[in-house]
Structure 1
Amino acid sequence: MSTDFLSELRDRGLIYQITDEEAIKKMMNEESVKLYIGFDPTADSLHIGHLLPILMLKRFQINGHIPVALVGGGTGMIGDPSFKDAERNLNSAETVERWAASLKNQLSRFIDFDDPDNPAIIANNYDWLGKLLLIDFLRDIGKNFTVNYMMSKESVKRRIESGISYTEFAYQLLQAYDFLKLYETEGVLMQLGGSDQWGNITSGIELLRREKDVQGYGITMPLIKKADGTKFGKTEGNAVWLDADKTSPYEFYQFWINTDDRDAVQFLKYFTFLTPDEIADIEKEFMAEPHKRAAQKVLAKEVTTLVHGESAYNQAIKISEALFSGDIKELNAAEIKAGFKDVPSYEVAASDDLGLVEMLVTAGIVPSKRQAREDITNGAIYINGERVQDLAYVLSDKDKIEGQYTIIRRGKKKYTLLSFN
C-alpha cells in the first residue's frame, strides 16, 4: 500500500475537490479503505466519459484499497439532474435492467472482482431502492434534509429557472441513501465522482453523520474538457463507447491518436498507468519534436490496449498503416468495415453494370461518364490501392475483398466503399 498514493493522484491532476485531505491521507495510509463510485445505466455501454472514474477504482485497487462499483439500476430509472440543461427521458425498468447487466460485464474488464487477496465489490442500488416504500423514504431519509439545503446544491440551482421535476429534485436523496446502505452493508466510508457529483456526495456524507454518527469522505475528479473547448469524449457529435461493437477499436485508437498537442501529456497522466518518470521522459521527447507525436502514439497504444487488448491495438495499427500507404489489399473484410466506416458507401445491386466507367457514375464518385473517362486516363482512379487506367476495366470477383468489399479511391483522399451482398 503506497503511502504516497494520494499525492500521486493529486500530481496526476485527478483530485478536484476533497472533503478532508489530511484525514483521508491518514486513513489511506493506515488501512484498506472501501470506496465507491456509481455508474447509472443510461445506455447499453459505458463511454470514455466513464473511463476516468473506472480507472480511479482500478488505481485504488492496485494500491490495496477495496473499490465498490455501484451500478445504478434504481437511480438510472430516475436520472441525475447534475449539470444537465433539461429533464432526462425516463426509461423502462426492463431497459434499465438490461443496460445494468451490460455495465456489470464491462466493469469486470477493468476491475478485478475475483482477486483472491483484494477483490473489488459490485452492487446494484435497485436491490434496495426497488424495495423502498415512499412513506419510509420520506420519514427516514427526507426528514434529514431541508428544502433550503437541497436547493443550495449547484446541480439544483442551475435548473431552478428552467424547471426541475420533483423526481430529479429528489435524486440527491437517493444517492445519499446509496452511501448509507453501502456503509451499512459493506462498511464504505468514501465516495468518489466527477466534480458535478459534489452536491450528491456531500448529501451522502451529511446523511451518514445524521443517521450513523460517522464521518464519511468524498473526492471528486475534474470534468475533462479538451484544450479547444469542445467536450471530451465526443467525436463528430458521437460518443466514443467502450463497447467494440459501438465504437470499433480502430475508431477508438483514432480518437486518442488525434489528441490535441495541448492535451496529450495531461491525458497520459489521467488515462494511463505509466509512472511519473516515464511520462516525464515522453514529455521531453514530445516537446523536442512535437511533429513526431510521441505522446499521442503512447497514449493511443496504452488506452487502446487497456480497453480492447493488445491484438485489437495491433489491428488498429495495421488499418492505419494500410490507409496511409494505400495498400488496401492487406486488410480483411472486418478491417475494411472498421477503417472505412465513415466514408461514402454504395451497395452494389445485382443489376448494376460493373464496368468501371459506369460504376464511378452510378456510385456517385464522379458526376459524369466524361469525368470518369478523364479520371481513369489521368491515373486518378485506384481499386483497392492499385491504379487502374483501362477504360474498359470491369470489376470482378478478384476486386472483392473476401467477396464483400471494394475500395475505390479518386485522387489522394476521396474514398468510396462498394459493398456486395
Structure 2
Amino acid sequence: MSSVIDILVERGFIKQFTHEDETRELLEKEKITFYIGFDPTADSLHVGHFLALMLMSHMQKAGHRPIVLVGGGTAMVGDPTGKTDMRKMLTREDIEHNVKCIKGQMENFIDFKDGKAILANNADWLMNLNYVEFLRDIGVHFSVNRMLTAECFKQRLEKGLSFLEFNYMLMQGYDFLELNKRYNCVMQLGGDDQWSNMIAGVDLIRRKENKPAFAMTAALLTTSEGKKMGKTEGGAVWLDSEKTTPYDFYQYWRNVEDADVEKCLSLLTFLPMDEVRRLGSLKDAEINGAKKVLAYEVTKLVHGEEEARNAEKASEALFGAGSDMSNVPTVSITNDMVGGTLLDALVYTKIIPSKSEGRRLIQQGGIVMNDEKVLDVNAKIEKSDFKEGSALVKRGKKKFYKIVIG
C-alpha cells in the first residue's frame, strides 16, 4: 500500500520539504496533526485555493488530522507575499463573515465532524499579545539579515515595505508555535510562495521547544506556460456559485489547454493515476473527452453531482448534438429595457462588467445574439429577439446566457 507521501509525489503536489527523510518516516509510522493557513480576505475561496483543499483531503483520507487556520489576526496586517502593494485591512466583522462562508466551502473537501479536523483562527492568540513580551520571547529568534533575503520581502522592498508587513513572518512563525502547543501540530503545508514563512515556523519550534517540526510545500497551480490558473477576463474563478456559476466553473475546466489536462486531472480529482495518464495521453479531438471528464469531476467536487450533471447537459446542448437549453445560465431584464440598447442590457445582467468592455467586445466581434454577430454598439434589444420567451447571447467563444424579460 502506498504511503500518503508516495501518493502526493506521484500526483505532482510536493515541491519542497524541510526534512524529507524524517517527514517520510513520520507519515508512514504515525498519524499526525498538520495545518494549512487561509487568508479570509474574501467571502469565497477561489481556484488558487483548490490545490490546498485537495492536499488536505488526501492527508485526511490517510488518517492525518488537518487544522484549517484562518488568519483573522494576520488579515488585519496583510501578507506581503506576491504583492507589490499593501493589502486592504479588514474589520473583525468582515473577517468573521468571510470565515463562516469559506468553512462551508471547505466542508466539501474536509470532514470536520467528531474532531476529525479543526478550524482555528489566529486572532485568538494574536489579538491580545503583549508587544514587549512578544519581541523578547519571539523576536529574539529572528535574524533581520536572513529575513531580508526572503523572496516575499525582496519584491516589496523595491516599492517600500512597511514595518507592519515586516512583522508578518514573525506572526506566521508564532502561529505554528501556538498550534504546536495547543494541538501538537507538527507540520505546516502550503503553497511554494510561502516557503520562507514556513521555514520560520519550523525553526522557531525547533529552537524554542527543542522539538521536531516540519514543512512541505506544494507547487502552485499554473498552466504549462507558467501562468497562474483560475483567472479569466471577468476576474477570479470562485468556488461560490453566486460569484462563478457552476456552468461557468464547468466551462473553465472544459476549456483548459490540452497540455494542462493531465496535470489538472492529477491534482484536482481523485481519479486513479492509471486513468489520469490514459486520459492525459489522448491527442487531437480525443483530448476533448478528457476535458469533459476533468470538468465534470472538478465541478462535482465543488458544487455536487447534480450541479455537475446540469452543467454537463448545458454544455452538451450548446456544443454537442442536443437542444436542451434549460441548464444555460439565465438572466433577466426589466420590461422597460426592451427597446433600449443591448449594451445597457448586458451591463445590467452582468454578462459584461462595463460599457467600455462591451463596446470593445462588440467592435472585436465578441458578442453574438441569436446566432447573429452584433456589430453595432448602439444595437437595440427588441421584443422580436425573444424567440420562445428568451434571447440567447454568446460572449466570446464559449460563454452563453439566456436573457428573459421580467
Q: TM-score range by the shorter chain?
A: 0.7 to 0.9
Letter in 1 for 2:308: Y
For residue 362 of structure 1, report the CA deviation from its aligned partner. Answer: 11
Q: 2:206 aligns with which of 209, 216, 224?
A: 209
Indicate the residue corresponding to 1:223 in structure 2. 220
Indicate the residue corresponding to 2:335 in structure 1. 349
Letter in 2 for 1:187: N
Q: Structure 1 stretches of 5 or more lacking a match?
A: 365-379, 384-392
Question: Is it true that 1:399 corresponds to 2:376 in the alignment?
Answer: no
**Structure 1 pair 414/219, CA: closer, same or farther in 2 (3 Å)?**
closer
Question: Is it true that 1:159 corresponds to 2:163 in the alignment?
Answer: no
Letter in 2 for 1:317: E
Letter in 1 for 2:274: D
Matches within 5 A, 1:168-187: 168-187=165-184
Letter in 1 for 2:83: K
- C-alpha distance in 1, partners of 2:400/2:54? 37
CA displacement 1:166-208 (0-9 Å, x = unmatched): 1111101111011001000000010011011000000001110
- C-alpha distance in 2, partners of 1:193/1:113? 19
Q: Residue 293 of structure 1: SS of its match in structure 2?
A: helix
Range moving further from structure 2, 122-131 or 249-258: 122-131
Q: 2:146 aligns with which of 125, 129, 149?
A: 149
Greater C-alpha Rg: 1
RMSD: 3.1
CA contact under 8 A between 2:69 and 2:120: conserved in structure 1?
yes
For residue 323 of structure 1, report the CA deviation from its aligned partner. Answer: 2.1
For residue 84 of structure 1, report the CA deviation from its aligned partner. Answer: 1.4
- C-alpha distance in 2, partners of 1:22/1:280? 28
- C-alpha distance in 2, partners of 1:417/1:290? 28
- C-alpha distance in 2, partners of 1:414/1:90? 34
Indicate the residue corresponding to 2:405 in structure 1. 420
- Give the total of aligned pairs: 375
Indicate the residue corresponding to 1:249 in structure 2. 246
Matches within 5 A, 1:226-237: 226-237=223-234
Return the TM-score normalized by structure 1: 0.81
Letter in 2 for 1:280: R
Q: 1:306 aligns with which of 298, 301, 307?
A: 301
**Structure 1 pair 327/25, CA: closer, same or farther in 2 (3 Å)?**
closer
Indicate the residue corresponding to 2:291 in structure 1. 296
Indicate the residue corresponding to 2:312 in structure 1. 317
Indicate the residue corresponding to 1:132 in structure 2. 129
**Structure 1 pair 324/143, CA: closer, same or farther in 2 (3 Å)?**
same
Q: Residue 36 of structure 2: SS of its match in structure 1?
A: strand
CA contact under 8 A between 1:72 and 1:100: conserved in structure 2?
no
- C-alpha distance in 1, partners of 2:228/2:196? 22
**Structure 1 pair 420/29, CA: closer, same or farther in 2 (3 Å)?**
same
**Structure 1 pair 359/194, CA: closer, same or farther in 2 (3 Å)?**
closer
For residue 348 of structure 1, report the CA deviation from its aligned partner. Answer: 5.3
Percent of aligned pairs with the same residue? 41
Indicate the residue corresponding to 2:93 in structure 1. 94
**Structure 1 pair 16/360, CA: closer, same or farther in 2 (3 Å)?**
closer
CA contact under 8 A between 2:369 and 2:391: conserved in structure 1?
no
Question: Is it true that 1:279 corresponds to 2:276 in the alignment?
Answer: yes
CA displacement 1:4-50 (0-9 Å, x = unmatched): 32122112111111011110011011110111000011111000100
Range moving further from structure 2, 193-202 or 6-15: 6-15
Q: 2:187 aligns with which of 185, 190, 199?
A: 190
Letter in 1 for 2:198: I
Q: Residue 252 of structure 2: SS of its match in structure 1?
A: helix
Letter in 2 for 1:179: F
Question: Is it true that 1:13 corresponds to 2:12 in the alignment?
Answer: yes
- C-alpha distance in 2, partners of 1:362/1:210? 62
- C-alpha distance in 2, partners of 1:153/1:351? 55
Q: Residue 265 of structure 1: SS of its match in structure 2?
A: helix
- C-alpha distance in 1, partners of 2:383/2:117? 60
**Structure 1 pair 303/140, CA: closer, same or farther in 2 (3 Å)?**
same
For residue 280 of structure 1, report the CA deviation from its aligned partner. Answer: 2.3
For residue 139 of structure 1, report the CA deviation from its aligned partner. Answer: 1.9
For residue 417 of structure 1, report the CA deviation from its aligned partner. Answer: 5.2
Indicate the residue corresponding to 2:257 in structure 1. 260
Letter in 2 for 1:138: L
Q: Residue 161 of structure 1: SS of its match in structure 2?
A: helix
For residue 147 of structure 1, report the CA deviation from its aligned partner. Answer: 1.4
Question: Is it true that 1:69 corresponds to 2:61 in the alignment?
Answer: no
Indicate the residue corresponding to 1:52 in structure 2. 51
